[in-house]
Amino acid sequence: MPQITNPILPGFNPDPSILRVGDDYYIATSTFEWFPGVQIHHSRDLANWELVTRPLNRKTQLDMRGDPDSCGVWAPCLTHDGEKFWLVYTDVKRKDGSFKDAHNYIVWADTIEGPWSDPIYTNSSGFDPSLFHDDDGKKWFVNMTWDHRVRPLLFSGIVIQEFDPVAEKLVGPITNIYKGTDLKLVEGPHIYKRNGWYYLLTAEGGTAYDHACTFARSRTLMGQYETHPDKHILTSKDAPLAAIQRAGHGDIVDTPDGKTYLVHLGGRPTTQERRCVLGRETSIQEAYWGDDDWLYVKNGPVPSLHVEVPGTRDEQKYWAEQRYTFGNGLHKDFQWLRTPETERIFSTENGKLRLFGRESIGSWFEQALVARRQTHFSYDAETVVDFRATDERTMAGLTAYYSRYNFFYLAVTAHADGQRELLLMSSEMSWPDGKLRFPADPVQIPNEGKIKLALTIRGRALQFFYAVEGQDLQPIGPVLDASILSDECGGHQAHGSFTGAFVGVAAHDLNGTASPADFDYFTYRPQHDPSDRYEVDSLMGKAN
C-alpha cells in the first residue's frame, strides 16, 4: 500500500471530523472567524482531498461580526444517518476570561454540496458539540461543559442529551458521562458503537504541546465509561522531537475493506521557539482494533509522519502555482473575516477583485480583507492594485495576516497632503495594545497608475517588494520575521490562539467613504524549502 506524508490537509485545518458515505470520505474542519464557516473536503482514497463546500455561507446561518480573534466556528461534527448529512458547530462569541459564550447549532442537508438548512439552536453550556445516531434511531447531542467557578474543573465533563429531530430541540435529562483523565481539559467528544460497546473519543490537555486523544468505553450509552488502558491513544506530549506536535482532537473512520483510520490535528514547528506558522493541520494515522476490543494507533501513541493509505498523493498539484483571476468570481481558496454581507466588502463584477475600504485592519466587525491559507513553509505572492488614496486614512494592498495583533501590511496610501506613498506596517505580538510598527520609511509613488506588490517567505524570512508600472520589482523594508504569524504568537497564551497564517489583499477607509481598490489578479507560488516536511522528515530530530 502506498505511503503519504502527513498532513493530509496542510495549513489551517484544525479539529477534523471525518465521515464515509459509500466510497466517499468527507472531513469537516474549523474555520473560526473566517467566513464562510466550516471547510468540508472530499476524497475517495484518503490521500487526495478537494475542498467541496463551506456550508455556513449566509447570514441566517452565521454572523460573526464582533467575534474576537480565534472565536467564531469551533470544532464542527459531520455525520450521516443514512438519509441526511448533519453538521453540528459552535459559534463562540467570547472565549477570554472566566466565561465562554458558546452557542451550539445543528444544520442538515440532503447532499454534501447543500443547500444546508437554517440552524437549529441547541444549547450554550459548552463547546465542541457532536451528534451520535444510535442504531435504534435515536439521536444524541454531546458536548463538553464549562464551569467558570472551576469547581472542581474548568472543563467539567462531557454531557449528553437526546435530540428530537422532529421537534428540532434537545429533550430529556442531561447526563455527565465522562470527566476525563488527570491530563484535564476534556473536550472534542465523538461517540461510536461497535461490538456492543459505546466508545467515546475525546481531546485533552489543551491545544498546545500537551494535546492528546483519549479513548474510553462503556456497555451503555450513559456510562460509566472506562478509560483506555493506555489512556491516550495519540499524543506528542512526551515526544518533543516528533515532526508532528500538538497532536490531538481526532475522529475515526472505517474503510470499505475494514481498515480503521484516525484523523487528528497537529502542528509542525520549524523554529527554535516551536512556532507553527501553518497552524493546526489535519493528519491521518492507521489504527487497529485489538483482541481486547480497544482501538490502538499503529506505531502510536506518537503520530507518524508517513502513513499507508489506499491512494497516492498528487504531489505535482500540491506544488503547483496558483494564479487567481476574478472573471468567474472569487475562487474557493479565498475567505474573508466575519461578515456575511459580502456586497459591502468586495465585488468581482468588473472581472477584477474590487474591495470597498471599511474599518481598520484587525477590526472585529467589518473589514475588507480577502485571503487564502498559507499551506507551504515557503512561497511567493503577488498582486497588482489600482487605488487612488486620498489621505493617510485610505489604504489598500498586500498582507500576510494572522490576527489583529499579528500581521504585516504593505499598503498604497497617501500623506495628509494627498501625495501617494507606500507604507509598510506591522503588528508583531503587540497584544494587548495593538500598536503599529513601521519597519521602513514611506516611499513616494505617482498619484496615478497601478502598483505591483509582492512578498516572499522563506521559512521565517519575509521580504516585501513593489514596482510602479513599467519597472521591475524592488525590495521595500527589511527582512521581517514571518514566524510570528503563528498560534504561539497570536496574542494569547499557549491555548488561546487557534488559526493560521493567511496571505491576501485588503482595503481600509478610515474616513468611512468606502473608497474602492481594484486588484487585477493574485498569485500564490509554492517554493521548495528544507523546512517543509514534504521534503525532509524533520528539522528538530528524527521523525518516526
Question: Residue for cell digits 505511503?
Answer: 3
Peptide bond between residue 7 and the one before it cis (omega within 30 degrees of 0)? yes
Q: Is 15 marked active-site? A: yes
Q: Backbone phi, then psi, for 462, in 5-degree steps? A: -115, 130
Distance CA 202, CA 194 (A): 17
> Contact 146/103 with Cβ under 8 angstroms?
no
Alpha carbons 65 and 428: distance in angstroms, whole number:
24
SS3 at position 317: helix
Which of 15, 210, 488, 532 is an active site residue?
Answer: 15
Query: Which secondary-structure segment (H or E) carries 452?
Result: strand 451-458
Torsion of CA 61, 190, 502, 364, to 10 degrees: 50
Distance CA 304, CA 531 (A): 18
Cell for 486? Answer: 503563528
Q: What is the Cα–Cα distance from 483 to 460, expressed in whole angstroms?
A: 5
Indicate which residue of 33, 91, 128, 187 is catalytic. Answer: 187
Q: Is 254 a catalytic residue?
A: no
Longest dimension (CA), the chain: 78
Type of residue numbered 496: G
Q: Which residues pair with 78 in a beta bridge?
A: 87
Tell me which residues are annotated as active site. Answer: 15, 187
